[in-house]
Amino acid sequence: MKKTPFVTKQQVEEIVKQFPTPFHLYDEAGIRANAQAVKDAFAWNPGFREYFAVKATPNPYLLKILKDYDMGCDCSSYTELMLAKSCGFDGEHIMFSSNDTPAEEFAYADKLGAIINLDDFTHIDFLEETIGHIPETISCRYNPGGVFTLSNGIMDNPGDSKYGMTKEQLFEAFKILKSKGAKYFGVHAFLASNTVTNEYYPQLAKELFELVVELKNETGCDIRFVNLSGGVGVAYKPDQTPNDISVIGAGVHKVYDEVLVPAGMGDVAIYTEMGRFMMAPYGCLVTKAIHEKHIYKEYIGVDACAANLMRPAIYGSYHHITVLGKEDAPCDHTYDVVGSLCENCDKFAIDRQLPKIDMGDYLVIHDTGAHGFSMGYNYNGRLRSAEILLESNGEAKLIRRAETPADYFATFDCFDDIKITE
């Protein structure tokens, strides 16, 4: 089976005249269509808002596209908060969900008026000591412990997760926060990662809706939103059926009407913090075959490496590969597709059936629009690649230049005795 890239060989051949490979390429038309689909899927909930997980793809040009759809930013660090502010997001459109949080980050989030989502019970006192008060609107992160299992067998293990509070801590936290002046409350939870099923959000929502009904009854707190966080995945493999956000939204609507409406909580807003679902399918890593090696296996060396996309190296993650111009050729060759790092895990594919690859062929590595560029690093002195937006009109726009050696050595500029030149 195969995936169809959103870019053609002819388009790539034009792009590389300006911007050499490797580069991450993003599909503006796809991002916009998906953003509208998410809004439509939850339009039944007047307060709905998607807070895009900035960590997935921290690029201001892409954030501003989502801003056109009244989406917000889910931030987890000082610099992500800075990025959101620079793109014009106000506090109402910024959710600050972090863990093991330094004091200066809480202070900056409060300065921006962001909604602060507390990860731990002890953070109540820490936050109050840091900013001198408890915000009127506050959220807490819930961890039910145990194993979270869906009917289709997909599971994750919240009990081993460092995130969130126990149920007992959550209830006590709400009581304390209310006594300290908090007026409006939210609950947040993330129980499973990259689920390729339409069941995850509805099942999570049911658990959280039942929880907030109990919370309201016991604490009297005014609960304004339930944040389903992320976890809605994408079909990395071509034989997987992608999630249908309209079905997911309808499933959440059903349990909302079953649980919250009868409890007199039909005004609770639904928030999401999707990163992968919002961006992954609408980005790809474009790279060129530059070497072939014939030893105990057949290797194709490309000009990208794990510094540009580390998910396969650290997770063994599957990313589909298309050889541009050979989409219809038989996949009758078995290759390891590798990069240049001095690590044997620097492989984009292992024993992958692909068409015959010739030197100079362009390869599209699919679904890198989230947790692709953002997880890059500089091991071996490798430099991070450019990011390019394929605009809706078909034009290619540079939205982040490639790093240079000067960028790599810039943090030595505080030393007069170190001058690195070519």
Q: Which of 250, 168, 246 has its CA nearest to residue 205?
A: 250
Q: What is the DSSP code (8-state) at residue 403?
A: P
Residue 116 token pair: 């602060």
Paired with 184 in beta bridges are 137, 222
The amino acid occupying position 189 is A
| Listed residue (112, 149, 144, 147) closest to 131, CA to CA | 112
Bridge partners (DSSP) of residue 185 are 138, 223
CA distance to 49, 94, 163, 324, per residue, from 37 (Å): 13, 21, 29, 29
Question: How many residues are present in the chain?
Answer: 422
Amino acid in the structure at residue 261: V
- The amino acid occupying position 186 is G
Q: Identify the active-site residue in 73, 87, 221, 342.
A: 342
Cβ neighbours, 10 Å, residue 315: 10
Alpha helices in 266-340 (DSSP H): 276-279, 311-315
Residue 198 CA to its chain's centroid (Å): 18
192: exposed, middle or buried (C-beta count within 10 Å: 0-12, 13-18, 19+)? buried
Q: Looking at 122-257, which runs of residues are DSSP E strands?
A: 137-141, 148-149, 155-156, 184-188, 222-227
Is 305 annotated as catalytic? Answer: no
Give the pair of three-digit tokens for residue 190: 């993330």
Q: Are 293 and 279 in contact (CB under 8 A)?
A: no
Angle, vertex CA 130, rays to CA 168 and CA 159, nearest 5: 30
Decide if 363 contacts 385 (C-beta within 8 A): no
Query: Could you tell me where the DSSP H helices lie in 285-373?
Result: 311-315
**DSSP one-letter string for 69-129:** TT-EEEE-SHHHHHHHHHTT--GGGEEEE-SS--HHHHHHHHHHTPEEEE-STTHHHHHHH
Residues involved in catalysis: 342
